[in-house]
Amino acid sequence: MTEFEVPVLSVKNLNKQFGLGCPHCKNGESETLVKNYCQVCGTVYACRDVSFDVFPGEVLGIVGESGSGKSTLMQCLYFDQDVTDGEAFVSAYENGEKNLFQESSQQQRYIRNHIMGKVYQNPLLGLRMNFSSIGNIAEKLIAAGSNHVGMMEGRGTELLNKVNIPVHRRKEAPKKFSGGMQQRVQIAKALSNNPPLLLLDEVTTGLDLSVQASVLDLIKSLQRELNISIVLVSHDLGVIRMLADRTLVMLEGKVIEEGLTDQILEDPQHPYTQQLVHSLL
């Protein structure tokens, strides 16, 4: 393989289940399973054998209905939840030779702070609502090792400018902002330490259309400018069509289809994907 083809993030056979599982559902294709829920023991198989690669500068979209395991997958990648089993490698950490899920929580914190950025669907999870907006950005910078107030203030102001938050409001707490503004502060925070990998979980859901458009526009231009790789989760095919180069379709915790976004939207193979594409208004 050439240098060019080394993936930024490589996930192999990721499994995440809630519950212990029982002899009835352990083999995966059992009759006791309704979708990904075992009727006997109540175990939910949120992610089943998920594997994918993300290449430098690529935007990977993940679509699927609610409950298909998209967000759980993202939480696992950001170590908000422990995986049941599976491997993940990031090229920026130990040359991509160490399984992230086996690292100590201290190391995982390092990876989160230095290599990743995440934007949550709910700004409450990604921001400290009572601290100033610029403080929120500084938090990520401090975590990544900055210790210079002037530098952090400059960087914070620059980013807030980029996401169209008026500079004179930078010292206000995000709780005073509208949902769209909070989301943009979150994006600025996630980008502050120039992470090679950005995880976006339903960033535009719940925003009105004009704000949605400006947030998407922003993500697209930042991604082009900084050449970061993005994993983008959405159930909105419009968002996927606009941003994603390549797309995975998830159903019941499994990846059922993957390919170039155009291909998936124009020529869906799996019945569920066909239904999904055809229900697009």
109 binds another protein (CB under 8 A): yes
Contacts (CB under 8 A) with another protein, residues 254-273 = none
Quote the CA–CA distance of 11 and 5 in Å, as a whole number. 15
Kind of pairing, strands 229-233 and 197-201?
parallel
Structure-token pair, residue 102: 């086996």
Backbone angles phi, psi at 63, to 5 degrees: -115, 165
211 binds another protein (CB under 8 A): no
> Residues 6 or more apart from 85 whose CB is under 8 A from it?
13, 14, 15
Q: Closest CB to another protein among 134 and 198?
A: 134
27 binds another protein (CB under 8 A): no
Binding another protein (rule: CB under 8 A), the pick from 2, 27, 66, 105 is 105
In the stretch 144-173, what mask flags binding to another protein with x, by CB under 8 A? ---xxxx-xx-----------------x--
143 binds another protein (CB under 8 A): yes
Is there a contact between 29 and 65 (Cβ–Cβ < 8 Å)?
Answer: no
Using the rule CB under 8 A, give the single segment among 19-27, 140-148, 157-165, 205-213 that binds another protein.
Answer: 140-148
185 binds another protein (CB under 8 A): no
Q: Closest CB to another protein among 170 and 246?
A: 170
Quote the CA–CA distance of 8 and 10 in Å, as a whole number. 7
Structure-token pair, residue 25: 């559902």
Q: Show the CA angle centred on residue 185, arms to residues 187 and 206, nearest 5°.
A: 80
Binding another protein (rule: CB under 8 A), the pick from 30, 67, 114, 131 is 131
The number of residues in the chain equals 281
Using the rule CB under 8 A, give the single segment among 67-75, 94-102, 136-144, 257-265 that binds another protein.
Answer: 136-144
- Give the binding-site size for another protein (rule: CB under 8 A): 21
Q: How far is the CB of 133 from another protein (least distance, A)?
A: 10
Q: Closest CB to another protein among 195 and 268?
A: 195
- For the stretch 73-78, contacts whose Cβ atoms lie closer than 8 Å and that sit 24 or more positions apart, written own/partner, are 73/14, 73/16, 73/46, 73/47, 73/233, 73/250, 74/118, 74/199, 74/201, 74/231, 74/233, 76/14, 76/16, 76/47, 76/101, 77/9, 77/11, 77/116, 77/199, 77/231, 78/112, 78/116, 78/118, 78/199
81 binds another protein (CB under 8 A): no
Q: How far is the CB of 103 from another protein (least distance, A)?
A: 12
Q: How far is the CB of 9 from another protein (least distance, A)?
A: 22
DSSP secondary structure code for residue 78 in this structure = T
Using CB under 8 A as the criterion, which residues of the chain lie in contact with another protein when the complex forms? 105-106, 109, 113, 128, 131-132, 134-135, 138-140, 142-143, 147-150, 152-153, 171
